[in-house]
Amino acid sequence: MVAENIEIDRLERRLKREAPGPLTDLSNQMTASLFSVLRTLAEWVRQSAEEMPLISLLIAFEAGFAVARLGHRRAKH
């Protein structure tokens, strides 16, 4: 009987250590928040593109240029 209780306690401690439990909940919350922010950003970009197409085009060009420069610098190293 005592050996069984010790084994149960050991297995419960192991389960608590190895189970993702709260990490799964935290991960789900962070993912939902990230998608919410991205959805809001996409909506803002869409509205800006409709209201100011030339400025949106300029910003997109600058962003693409910045990303290309970053990629070029990383490729050298």
Domain ranges of the chain: 2-76
Model confidence at 60: pLDDT above 90: no
Report the pLDDT value the prediction gives residue 37, as an integer from 0 to 100.
95
- Tell me which amino acid residue 49 is: A
Contact partners, residue 45, CB within 8 Å, separation at least 6:
56
Q: Cα separation of 48 and 4, whole Å?
A: 67
Q: Find the angle CA(44)-CA(58)-CA(73) to the nearest 5 degrees.
A: 100
Give 59's Cβ-side CA count (13 Å radius): 9
Give 71's Cβ-side CA count (13 Å radius): 6
Model confidence at 55: pLDDT above 60: yes
User: pTM above the 0.75 mark?
Assistant: no
pLDDT confidence tier of residue 49, bands split at 50, 70 and 90? confident
